[in-house]
Amino acid sequence: MDKMRYDAVVVARGGNESFDIFLEHNVYSTIINMKSYILAGIGHAILNGEFLKIFDHVELTPNEFGHYLQDLVKSVEEKRKQELYLNILYALAGLGALVAAYFLF
């Protein structure tokens, strides 16, 4: 799976008491060996803390994970808006400097 070079991989599971699939050796070792950013919303905090340490980011339920993603998107959108405003200001400042230089020389 890591050969596909994903930026991030989400492991999510909820609503069931059986989490044995995550404890199987091939699933566990695949997650550990991935270079991608691994996020988890596995659910109900049934899994032990040691297992959860293999993830880069953990929310204890899929619902909380959804809220995390929603907040992340809002944060990225706000950052992009701020960068756009700064770029516009820099462009206007540069234009103002060009106009001033034109009239001075």
First to last CA, the chain: 62
pLDDT by position in tens, the chain (length 105): 666 778 888 887 776 666 667 666 677 788 888 888 888 887 765 556 677 788 899 888 888 989 999 999 999 999 999 999 888 888 888 877 777 777 766
- Does 17 reside within a domain? yes
Beta sheet of 57-59, edge-to-edge order: 8-12, 37-41, 57-59
- Does 23 reside within a domain? yes
CA–CA distance, 105 with 99 (Å, rounded to integer): 10
3-state SS class at 102: helix
- Does 94 reside within a domain? no
Q: Is the pTM of this model over 0.75?
A: no
- Does 57 reside within a domain? yes
Domains of the chain: total: 1
Enclosing domain of residue 24: 2-74
Contact 42, 22 (CB under 8 A): yes
Backbone φ and ψ for 103, nearest 5 degrees, come out as -80, -25
- Does 67 reside within a domain? yes
CA–CA distance, 100 with 1 (Å, rounded to integer): 57
- Does 105 reside within a domain? no
- Name the one residue in this structure whose structure tokens are 């400042």: 93
The predicted structure's pLDDT at residue 44: 61
